[in-house]
Structure 1
Amino acid sequence: RYWFALKYGCQAACKQTSSRGASEADPSSFIQKQAIDAVTDINMLRVFKTFLETTPQLFLQIYILLGHGKTNFYQYAAIIMSFCGISLSMVDYQISLRKSLPDKDEFHVLSKFMYLFYKLLTITSWMLSISLITLLSVRTSVILLIFLWICGFIWTLKQHTTFCKSKKMEYLYRTVVGIILIFSFFNIKGRRTKVCISIYYATHTVVTLGILFLYIFWKPSIIKEICYIIVSILTISSLVLGIIFLVVYYSHFHPTTYCTHQACSDEVDEVAWQKDRMETGRFQNFLMQ
């Protein structure tokens, strides 16, 4: 992927210098589009890597922090950087995806910040909730995560994605997306997601509140009361603020609101208000190389 991006980027740069008045049908424009598509693929694979590698490490860090109580500045800094890294990977992917879709307007500065805080806060709240239930019962936590992955995988199957050439790679892709859906919403088909995203975060809210109420009635000795109060405040405040940023982002700061074309359709991680329609462009055949 990096080789393709570098190759197409160099070719596009060389041809643009030789023919500055190029049209969209010009070969240099086509090569530039290929370079942008390759970068978008890289950013999507980076999202996969982040959720498969960084998220488990972050979960383990929080679990150790809450369970043992021995903390220092570097542990807090590492956890904060991990949260920011996960959220920034989602933002980078959205930015590159917007550039790869010709009928989509690019992110504005406020849109980027609103999307970043929406992802950062909702992921933070959910990771803290999962860490709390793991402290209470590892078996319950594993069952919950497996159940959520199964739900995400089934939803992915129903989308009938066609992002890979072979069926084996397609199922691998759906498996990874199912893992991502455990922690954050990820629309993979570019269709209407208003209902899906509402159900998704409503479920997260119910599960989060259920975990906090379990701690109130169970009162496990593994975690100090003051620590539980702090984590509970962080969890609830992050969830509430994250949902507020989510609503405000899709209501006022989403790039689609700046789009002048009425035919603009949904894309990854977007609450849609238009009818479903078939797209024959880049989005349907995302990972075809």
Structure 2
Amino acid sequence: MTKAVRELLQNGISYDETDRMPSNISITNLDLVMYVVAIIGHFVDLGFDINVAVRYYLAGKIVAFGWTLAFILLPAFVNTAISIRMYSQDKQQNSVSNEFTKRKWLRVVILVLQMAPILRFTDALIYAVKSRRAEHNNDPASQRLYYSLMLKEDSDAALMRIFECFLEAAPQLVLQISILFQGHREFTVHQILSITSSLITMGWCLAAYQRAVRFAQQDKLNVNWLATGMQTLWHYLLTLSRVLSIAVIAFLYPYWTILACSLHILTMTSWIQFYERPVFCAQSRLTEIAFSFALGAVYLFTYILSVEGRTRYRYAIYYTICLTQNIVCGLVWFLFVPEEMKAAAYYYTVLILCILPYVFGIFVMILYYSFFHPTLRKGAKNITVSVKVNDQVLDTVS
């Protein structure tokens, strides 16, 4: 009996091992580094955004300060609400995860400080280290257990990464780029720092999300790093193009931009409610609608699958709508930008970047689904950890 299993038994929990150890559950140095980068990067990006917000406030730019602060606090609030919901489900299921956050007072402090993703990243890192240590000690049962718990934390963190990317990093890019177009040179350095950190955060969030998806796909052929890179590239190109398209309209017509984005989000929310209906938060109608609304805001920038099923027609409809919107944004920039900006070196560059990356991103997506998308692996088995108390299954991590 391994030490990890003994710890479960001492807490009145029994553990059922799977019949066969999967061959691809080793924890690499890159896996550990990505968790550490996640934790550090979260604080760095937050620091740059707070810095530029403070600069706006001190300079009396209250509108810019208010929007910057809103795009810091709103995503943090959404992630905190989602995290609380996850912990509530864990408690109901008597989950054995949440290693770091067993210290309830620490969990409360971190959630109050609006840093919910840090909890999941830290727990996943702890389990990854324990799984790797068990591998080095030739303890396959403990290795499987801790790896499965790491998968659970990583899958929870993946959802937070998506909201961090498309409710914080992407909107901050839109805001800071549109303000940069206004020519406030006294803020240029701080804006560029915020823009750069948001670009890096957005790229990392997408890469980490695709990595979590790759980890979880035990019933399919492994998604290799080339395929994962292609997934990240297509989402990054699409998001970058959307960010710039919305930013140029926000610079020219800020109030119309708010209206157009609101209509887009409401349309996507209705789509999610009527045609997709994700099961997360489905226990309450109010929380289900709130979650769909948050996901609709993500759909302002890119399409992330919230439910399994055929995606061809959903992709075709969504990307046609967004490409049309990008083209319209490019035409508005070309026709109505102030005359003094038409002589700037970035005038045509912005026009091209509103459309070309989106087209190229769709091409990469088609290439991925044509040649790199994983297919079902014959006879494959999921990694499964069943947790029982008094012979009743209370939590299953797959």
TM-score by length of 1: 0.76
- Per the alignment, residue 240 of structure 1 pairs with 359
Assess, with a 3 A threshold, how the Cα gap between structure 1 residues 203 and 28 changes in structure 2: closer, same or farther: same
Q: Is the 8 A contact 2:130 2:146 kept in 1?
A: yes
Counterparts of 1:132 and 1:140 in 2: how far apart (Å)? 12
- Per the alignment, residue 118 of structure 1 pairs with 234
Q: Is the 8 A contact 1:67 1:223 kept in 2?
A: no
- Per the alignment, residue 260 of structure 2 pairs with 144
Q: Is the 8 A contact 2:214 2:228 kept in 1?
A: no
Q: Is the 8 A contact 1:61 1:79 kept in 2?
A: yes
**Cα shift at 1:230:** 2.0
- Per the alignment, residue 172 of structure 2 pairs with 57
Mean Cα displacement is larger for which, 96-105 or 197-206?
96-105
- Per the alignment, residue 190 of structure 1 pairs with 308
Assess, with a 3 A threshold, how the Cα gap between structure 1 residues 262 and 82 changes in structure 2: closer, same or farther: farther
Q: Is the 8 A contact 1:84 1:120 kept in 2?
A: no
Assess, with a 3 A threshold, how the Cα gap between structure 1 residues 113 and 98 changes in structure 2: closer, same or farther: closer
- Per the alignment, residue 208 of structure 2 pairs with 92
**Cα shift at 1:103:** 0.6
Counterparts of 2:167 and 2:215 in 1: how far apart (Å)? 25
Corresponding letter in the other structure for 1:233: I
| CA displacement, residues 119-154 of structure 1 (integer Å, 9 cap, x when unaligned) | 121111111111111122112101110011111211
**Cα shift at 1:47:** 2.1
Mean Cα displacement is larger for which, 112-121 or 157-166?
157-166
- Per the alignment, residue 164 of structure 1 pairs with 281
Counterparts of 1:166 and 1:4 in 2: how far apart (Å)? 26
The DSSP-based 3-state class of the residue aligned with 2:362 is helix
- Per the alignment, residue 199 of structure 1 pairs with 317
User: Within 5 A, what are the aligned runs for 1:210-225?
Assistant: 210-221=328-339, 223-225=341-343
The one of 159, 181, 191 aligned to 1:66: 181
The one of 354, 359, 370 aligned to 1:251: 370
Q: Is the 8 A contact 1:83 1:120 kept in 2?
A: no
**Cα shift at 1:170:** 3.2
The DSSP-based 3-state class of the residue aligned with 1:162 is coil
Greater relative CO (CA pairs within 8 A, separation 6+): 1
Corresponding letter in the other structure for 1:145: C
**Cα shift at 1:244:** 1.6
Counterparts of 1:219 and 1:13 in 2: how far apart (Å)? 56
Corresponding letter in the other structure for 1:160: R
- The alignment status of 1:228 with 2:347, answered yes or no, reads yes
- Per the alignment, residue 387 of structure 2 pairs with none
The DSSP-based 3-state class of the residue aligned with 1:68 is coil
Assess, with a 3 A threshold, how the Cα gap between structure 1 residues 206 and 68 changes in structure 2: closer, same or farther: same
- Per the alignment, residue 127 of structure 1 pairs with 243
Q: Which runs of 5+ in 1 are unaligned?
A: 265-287
- Per the alignment, residue 46 of structure 1 pairs with 161
Assess, with a 3 A threshold, how the Cα gap between structure 1 residues 117 and 84 changes in structure 2: closer, same or farther: farther
Assess, with a 3 A threshold, how the Cα gap between structure 1 residues 13 and 67 changes in structure 2: closer, same or farther: same
Mean Cα displacement is larger for which, 138-147 or 236-245?
236-245
Assess, with a 3 A threshold, how the Cα gap between structure 1 residues 35 and 56 changes in structure 2: closer, same or farther: same
| CA displacement, residues 29-84 of structure 1 (integer Å, 9 cap, x when unaligned) | 35532321111211321221232222222111110122227486775565344234
Cα RMSD after superposing both structures: 3.1
The one of 166, 175, 180 aligned to 2:298: 180
Counterparts of 1:220 and 1:262 in 2: how far apart (Å)? 62
Mean Cα displacement is larger for which, 93-102 or 168-177?
168-177
Counterparts of 1:224 and 1:69 in 2: how far apart (Å)? 18
The DSSP-based 3-state class of the residue aligned with 2:300 is helix
Assess, with a 3 A threshold, how the Cα gap between structure 1 residues 125 and 9 changes in structure 2: closer, same or farther: closer
**Cα shift at 1:247:** 1.4
TM-score by length of 2: 0.57
